[in-house]
Chain A
Amino acid sequence: MTTSAAHVTRPTPAAAPTLADNRPDQPAGALAHVVPVAGRVTPVASPGDPGRTIRRAPSDFGTSTATTLKSGWGLLGIGSTPWDAILVAIRGYAALRADQYDQRVRSLAALPALLLAWERHHEIGTKAETDLKDDEKRKVTAIRELRTLLDREHRELATAGAKVDPRTRTIDAHRLTDDYLLEQVAKGHTTLKRDDQGLAVTRLQQALADLGHLAPGQVTGTYDAATETGVQAFQRANALPETGVLARPTMAKLVEAFRRHGAERRLATASTVETKPVAGEYGWGSAPDELTAGARDLTDPERAAAKEAVKTAQTAGPGGVQPTFVSDLPGRGRYEDRLKRLVLALVELEYDYLARGKAAKRNDDDLFGWDHIAVVANRAKRVTDAVFGQWSIGPALTPGVSIHDAWETKVEALKDVDVQDDAAVWRVTKLLTGNEQVRDLDREHGAIQSRGPEKAIVDRVRAAVVVAKRDKLLETHKAWPAFADAGVVNIQRFKKAGVAANRHEMWDLFQTVVHEYLHTLEHSRYRGYRETLGQQAGGFTLREGVVEYFTHTVLEAVDYNEELRAAVEGEFHEDGVTQPIPAYRGYGERANAEKLAGVVGATNVMAAFFLGDVEKVGGTA
């Protein structure tokens, strides 16, 4: 993560504690100013009484936390249970080292709920201030100050590149996901407002720009008057109080606005440029300017953030720390054994799901007809052109030309023993590098497969699985649902048992062809750029992730009316039967593509993919 681009800063009063001086051997964060850590004798100021300092010695922590803190911190007079929990949490946080980022994130995450619980218990905000007891008043003041400190901690963690914990993530619109500070806004732990700076602000501004509430040129990374006005406009459009501040309710609406890609469709079709009359790309620099009116040039930090967004490798944590590989996890086992067991099981699963019994089903009656496939392909092209036709159009995907039978193609290729060997290795490698369960296992063990010790293990596992499962791997290779090679799309034609299942297959094909047709619209200059990137360094995201992003943009706009249903379902169509449209899945790297759009804007991504303006996504041709 690029720390320079990831943080949000807010002007800090000179006297306020900051983490700027933190060292790994120092206690974590500004809260250490309030509650020092054991083993250190440090005079600190009480938040309730800045003029007073308190002194801590290791012996102070020999007794209970509450007692210890009460003895020094003048605010903490009563050891009621909720308050004690707060004290324990603060002390736990303050005891962490500055470089224990993940632990700090987790520890901080627990505090707001505790504060809220205490406030609810004492009816803070409901009963009149005059009804508060003195002790409650002191604690209310302390909580207010604590929240300021928490806010500062979050910003410092964002600066250091803290990551969002996927288990507690609340933002589910990919373009806004994984921004640490926006996640805190979504959880109600902080806000973004005037004079804030950084990538979270850029993401907010870009979201506003893509929704039409800010001009592209006003995406500056600084929460200025224009941003405030843009936020107010967004709030007005969503019946929210027009505060101009990004707080939890506004964040929730922003997330909602990007769940279904309506903004992308509006941007794709915003110009008055006509659908491209001739198949093929616009020559570099020759596209109508109006198409890219919503695009913008990037700053250096934005370019860096764009490159970071498309990476799919397990990256270093905050502060550039690589995960430590743990070969043997107590109670769980050795990485090598677990990886081998998992991959062997996955090979069996894929075989059962895709290939079992398929070799015996190659009669015409078992296969979808090419005429039907041609109709589906044509409809898929039509819905895609309706969204992106102004940018580029391609020749229709035509059976016998650019659509072939995947099984037949593979059978032909696998006649060559050399290809068989490579195919078996390919199938296992794909599981090792792309399967979510394998990624989880890697995360659990801190494994980076390309790193020395792990690579040796992974190579051994791959070889063992290829030997053990070669026949099933090759059958799976033949039965793989779809692939493209040399500009030809290959699909499986196997019918399923039952009319409804075959309708389902036709919709699956429809979705696949939208995806594959979009691939054919890639600009040559974009392709040249993405080929310079390693797969995990962004090449895969720019190839599959961006196409998945656009596939969703198209599919979510389809009007599944009776006429379209009759055409796509063909002989399996039944009047009055509404076939559920399958949920489109595809590659998870769509999330990276949408994160890219979150930084650079959806129009920039379109300008890169369809028009070859790769500089708009941080690239160079």
Chain B
Amino acid sequence: MSLDAVRAFAARDLAALAASGGLDPDTSLDVVAAEWGADPQRCGRHFLGHPPAEAFWCPASLAGFDGTVRIWFRGDRVVKIEGQFPDLAPDDLHVLGPPEAELDYRRDVSVVAGGERLWASRGIAAKLNRSARQVVALSIFSATTVDGFTAGVRGTDDYREAAGP
């Protein structure tokens, strides 16, 4: 099992991330959790992919990310890692070359059209805000196709609210 992608992600080193070939499919949850001080027992349940498939996640805190890092897992394997507000500028993404796809994603009540830039074959995705001036999230997963990303690990978030007063 290689942790190259995991460590490049933590360092927000996009060149190293591109060279890593994506998250090793055998990446062990316990190993990553131990590396980052996360507790897999303190987890949430949600879905990834389309059609949605069950996945769990546990939070981690990493320097260089101004928000939570989620370690997504199924069984004892990590399937995706996503960190909120990485210390990266949109221009930093140029090192990855043109994205293979630009997908919509939801943020609070907003849908950001084409805001998720995807380099599926390298196992990397980055979400930009609507004006493309801020990198909102960075994620890694096992190298795949655009369809493979959508089917397997793309976020399936939907915003819900309690009923009104």
List residues of chain A with CB under 8 Å of any chain B CB.
279-281, 350, 353-354, 394-395, 398, 400-402, 410, 412-414, 416, 418-419, 422-423, 426, 430-431, 434-435, 477, 480-488, 512, 515, 519-520, 524-525, 527-528, 531, 543-544, 585-588, 621
Contacts and interface: CB of A to CB of B under 8 A. Distances in A.
B59 A401 contact: yes
Given A401-B44, A524-B53, A528-B52, A426 B109 contact: yes
Contacts of B107: 413, 416, 419
Contacts of A350: 164-165
Interface stretch (B15-23, B89-97, B152-160): B152-160
Contacts of A430: 161, 164
A544 B33 CA distance: 34
B109 A419 contact: yes
Given A426-B109, A487-B46, A400 B57 contact: no
B129 interface: yes
Interface residues of B, number: 37
Contacts, number: 117
Nearest to B82: A486
Contacts of A279: 45, 56
Interface in B55-80: 56-59, 67
B157 A486 contact: yes
Nearest to B159: A485
Contacts of A354: 165
B163 A418 contact: no
A520 B45 contact: yes
Given A401-B58, A528-B51, A531-B52, A512 B162 contact: yes
Interface string B134-161: 1000000000000000000001111111
B43 A395 contact: yes
B45 A394 contact: yes
Nearest to A417: B131
A400 B60 CA distance: 10
Minimum-distance CB pairs A-B, first 3: A487-B46, A528-B51, A482-B162
14 contacts: A279-B56, A353-B165, A394-B45, A419-B109, A422-B111, A423-B108, A423-B109, A486-B157, A487-B157, A524-B52, A524-B53, A527-B52, A528-B50, A586-B162
Contacts of B165: 350, 353-354, 481
A483 B160 CA distance: 5
* Among A435, A486, A544, residue most surrounded by chain B Cβ atoms (within 10 Å): A486
A600 B129 CA distance: 44
A587 B163 contact: yes
Contacts of B54: 280-281, 524
A621 B155 CA distance: 19
Contacts of B53: 524
Interface of B: 42-47, 50-54, 56-59, 67, 107-112, 129-131, 134, 155-165
SS class, residues of chain B in contact with chain A: loop
B151 to A, nearest CB: 12
A308 B92 CA distance: 51
Nearest to A487: B46
A485 B108 CA distance: 7
Contacts of A512: 162
Nearest to A477: B109
Given A350-B165, A524-B51, A487 B129 contact: no
Contacts of A414: 108
Given A419-B107, A422-B109, A520-B45, A621 B51 contact: yes
A474 to B, nearest CB: 11
A353 B165 CA distance: 8
A423 B108 CA distance: 8
Contacts of B56: 279-280, 395
A350 B165 CA distance: 7
B42 A401 contact: yes
B72 to A, nearest CB: 10
Given A487-B46, A524-B53, A544-B160, 9 more contacts: A400-B42, A401-B43, A416-B130, A422-B111, A482-B162, A484-B160, A524-B47, A527-B52, A531-B158
A419 B44 contact: no
A410 B54 CA distance: 27
B110 A519 contact: no
A280 B56 CA distance: 9
Contacts of B44: 395, 398, 401-402, 487-488, 520
Contacts of B42: 395, 398, 400-401
Contacts of A416: 107, 110, 129-130, 134
Contacts of A423: 108-110
A525 B59 contact: no
Nearest to A589: B163
A480 B45 contact: no
B45 A435 contact: no
A402 to B, nearest CB: 4
A520 B57 CA distance: 13
A135 to B, nearest CB: 59
Nearest to A397: B44
Contacts of B163: 434, 544, 585-588
A179 B149 CA distance: 46
Contact of A480 (B131, B156, B161): B161
A486 B46 contact: yes
B59 A527 contact: no
Contacts of A585: 163
Contact of B45 (A280, A412, A531, A586): A280
A466 to B, nearest CB: 13
